[in-house]
Amino acid sequence: MAGEEALVARAREVIRANDRGAYTVPTGGLYPFQWNWDSCLTALGLAHLDEERAWTEVVTLFAHQWEDGMVPHIVFHEPSDGYFPGPEVWGTGRPTPTSGITQPPVAGFVVRKLFDRAEDRELATARARELLPKVDAWHEWFYRHRDRAGEGLVAVLHPWESGRDNSVDWDEAFERVPTAGVAPYTRRDTQHADPAHRPTHAQYDRYLWLLQRFRDLGWDNARLHDASPFRVVDPGFNAILIRSCADLASVADALGASDVAARNRARAARALAALEGLWSEAHGQYLCRDRTTGALVDSASVGGLLPAFAAVPRERAARIARTIERWARHAAYLVPSHDPTDPRFEPQRYWRGPVWLVVNYLIADGLRGAGEEDAAARIVDSSLDLLARSGFAEYYDPLTAEACGGRSFTWTAAMAIELLAARRGVGRPPL
Ligand code: GLC
């Protein structure tokens, strides 16, 4: 208990240090701006400290939503030269500069969590009412611009959109992204973190090629999808969107917005049915589909376990729990971001093996909801163990628990608070 209190006290300190008033930065130095899914997931931890501040985190993000409905992956509130590519490279022409791509849409899920658990009901009702049409518009944007053939599933057009930047999942499709014509640049990330923990230079060139291509198209979302050589349907990303649609529908019901509820429920049902097309019996999990070739991508990453977070059939969730057990025989800490028996697994390189606590949280929440209590508890235990051993790292080596990437990470600290509160049964959390 004393250890837990100390952990929460330290988590608070991390969040306080990264708090910029109306939003948090993921960590000073490496990521000095507001990131989309970092902020939303951070709000879950913040809510245990200060409900109003938690709502503000999400409201600030949505104040920078584009007119077409997209919510950008970075909001550059204040200038800082610590990060590349900065606003001048993105060139999106927004009043407050933003990036031009999006990120995993966890907002619907988070709004429901904040709303359902709120003690200040009046505040929660006001904020949820304000956010409801905005989150709904973002969902609408996804199915309009990223599911152009009406398949029920949306594609990411840049690995950064997936939130799993350098996953093995993107390697094959990335081969089709050229590197010629990328303007000379200097990376800043490798000045803040060990280059061996970060994406390679060849990957960085391609990240920038895509960015330049989209910028040349004037960031017109009606054109980007068909013009991109990189279009991948990520089961994890889609599962998050499905869950957010379903959760937004629940909030909409509570607020009497039956049209919003019906729209989002229909989106979730359609997408859930389509998700079945990504199931791989051989891997015991879902796989990405390369929309350019139509083929499934033979890469067993954590993205294919994340569908447990959506209401997939029970037998799928059970099978995912078994797959995690199998991975656990090769990794001391859960959940590695890539199958540890795959030769492409790298325990310290960003999304090619390391454990990320936010992903653990989402998978555990889903497994618990599907009745896979033991698997969920094991993931939560592993997460708390990593926190106790190695602090609030960006991510962790699943073989040794070593802290990797940046330190004093906001969303990792938020997860510590959320997971411990959940364990104590405070505020009816899911775990
Ligand atoms: C990295 C991660 C991404 C995260 C961002 C800020 O780009 O891959 O998921 O949102 O850092 O923490």
> What is the tens place of the pLDDT at every residue in 399-411?
999 999 999 999 9
What values do phi and psi take at 382, rounded to 5?
-60, -40
- Listed in order, strand segments (DSSP E) in 263-393 are 279-280, 285-286, 289-290
Give the pLDDT score at 428.
41
* Per-residue confidence (pLDDT) for residue 1, from 0 to 100: 64
Distance 165 CA to ligand 1 centre (A): 7
pLDDT bin (cut points 50, 70, 90) of residue 422 is: confident
* For residue 377, pLDDT beyond 50: yes
What gap in Å lies between CA 162 and CA 156, rounded to an integer?
A: 6
Residue 51 CB less than 6 A away from ligand 1 = no
pLDDT at 427: 47
Contact criterion met (CB below 8 Å) for 334 and 299 = no
Mean pLDDT across the chain: 96
**Residue 175 identity:** E
Which among 23, 31, 73 is the best mutation to test ligand 1's pocket, defined by most ligand atoms within 8 Å of the CB?
A: 31
Model confidence pLDDT, tens digit, residues 18-69: 999 999 999 998 899 999 999 999 999 999 999 999 999 999 999 999 999 9
Residue 135 has pLDDT above 70, yes or no: yes
The reply to whether ligand 1 has any atom less than 6 angstroms from the CB of 159 is: no
pLDDT tens digit sequence for 89-118: 999 999 999 999 999 999 999 999 999 999
* Cα of 295 from ligand 1 centre, angstroms: 27
Exactly one of 51, 136, 147, 165 is catalytic; which is it? 165
- What local confidence, expressed as pLDDT, does residue 431 receive? 41
Which tokens belong to 17? 């240090």
User: What is the pLDDT at residue 82?
Assistant: 84
Rg of the Cα atoms in the chain: 20
Among protein residues, the one with the nearest Cα to ligand 1's atom 2 is 163
Average pLDDT of span 297-306: 98
Q: How far is the CA of 74 from the centre of ligand 1 (A)?
A: 10
Greatest alpha-carbon pair distance for the chain in Å reads: 57
394 has catalytic annotation: yes
- Quick check: 157 pLDDT over 90? yes
Neighbours of 277 (CB within 10 A): 14
pLDDT of residue 429: 41
